[in-house]
Structure 1
């Protein structure tokens, strides 16, 4: 493919002020982040499921229901710090289809995209991390907050109207107005729920805050249909993690300074 994967003109027209002011936390369901050609190229060449590992009933930090899914990390995994890229669930650049090699190169060298993310999230620096997720029938993302070391995430979905029926679920839900104090709420424990579109070159950008509750209800898709996405995760530089963790804990649990 010639040219770039990212539609930079769309980024230049993005309303950053409206994004930052959005409730219950900054988020946007972006249509057309990738060029048409770029989306089709990546969609057609999505990494083989053989590269993934299946996460089955892994315990979560606040005893939420498990996020069962197929998972593939780029270069190193938070679940297997010592696992080489050649092992299952971790992929190196050279193992990726050519399309994805080109996209990864663009993500890691694009000054314009990186400036856009810094401005949107209100940060001066971040460390990126990348992972592919594939959900199948019964997969669920129970309501949760991301870990405090995450500044934000850009989720790129790789389904189309031809291969995915919205009635099967899978939409990322923006949850607001939590009605209980517990950190393992259910979807019914929120006053509002707004669904983000996940088909036809849509993506979901959000900033991680103490109000950034989100999830996706259990899939009811046929056995041969899969919810496919690619996560671009923006994490705190290591030198600032300690201070930020303390501040986040105080905000979440209303601790005194």
Structure 2
């Protein structure tokens, strides 16, 4: 038994259907969390005091617009090189009690781990966790995830009572890129499919070369926030190291 997961929902979609979904494997799961569990996590979402605010941080060499937001990593942040303390990084004991329990279950509950392995076709992998909070003006510009990411499972913590579709926030799956530039706009794609993230929704997707996705600029009123928790599945560091060696040997570094 699980204190958090709706077990039938973990197997509600065939792997074949997931993998055949275009433009990249993805699915919006509804009510994958038990209603009481979702409500408890929603009502006790980590305080913004734990987050650090990201404003105009550069996104590598792509020229893509920065993803301005509040950001919180669990135990270790990719944005902190050495000092893994202070705003933007949380230890488990700093989280509300229900979130401590949820993170532990995500880390150890075999049916959920099997859910990730089944849909993402995992062998060796590692997982990191991060919370994002968006406010008025926040945006996730069109991008593909980095090579080291295998896939991401995003748990959303907004409801119909606190969020209007017209404010943006829906995750967008993009296809038919009409430009060669690496920093496209949403209008540079032939097809845009949006997913309603409210009311106990979670979005699982596999990272591919054509896995372009985005979120429109948020137009919510002040003191309204788009809130989510990411389970980010990555290749083991040995594989990332091998890729760097390959780039060096091939002269592509």
TM-score, structure 1 as length reference: 0.92
Partner of 1:212: 211
1:239 deviates by 1.7
Partner of 2:48: 49
- 1:34-84 CA distance string (max 9 Å, x none): 110110010000000111000000011211111100000000100003223
TM-score, structure 2 as length reference: 0.94
8 A contact 2:9–2:29 mirrored in 1: no
8 A contact 1:83–1:90 mirrored in 2: no
- 1:186-205 CA distance string (max 9 Å, x none): 10110100001110000110
Partner of 1:114: 113
1:33 deviates by 1.1
- In 2, the alpha carbon distance for the partners of 1:228 and 1:244 equals 34
For structure 2, the residue ranges without an aligned partner over 5 or more in a row are: 248-253
8 A contact 2:52–2:72 mirrored in 1: yes
8 A contact 1:47–1:96 mirrored in 2: yes
- In 2, the alpha carbon distance for the partners of 1:20 and 1:80 equals 34
Partner of 1:159: 158
1:179 deviates by 0.9
Partner of 1:253: none
Structure 1's consecutive aligned runs of 4 or more residues displaced over 6 angstroms after TM superposition are: none
Change (3 A) 1:245 1:37: farther
- In 2, the alpha carbon distance for the partners of 1:44 and 1:125 equals 35
1:227 matched to 2:229? The reply is no
- Equivalenced residues, count: 248
Give the RMSD, CA atoms, in angstroms: 1.8
- In 1, the alpha carbon distance for the partners of 2:112 and 2:192 equals 29
1:109-188 to 2 correspondences below 5 Å: 109-188=108-187
8 A contact 1:118–1:125 mirrored in 2: no
8 A contact 1:148–1:245 mirrored in 2: no
Change (3 A) 1:76 1:200: same
1:129 deviates by 0.5
1:75 matched to 2:75? The reply is yes
Partner of 2:58: 59
1:3 deviates by 4.5
8 A contact 1:52–1:72 mirrored in 2: yes
- 1:142-178 CA distance string (max 9 Å, x none): 0001110000000110000000000000111000111
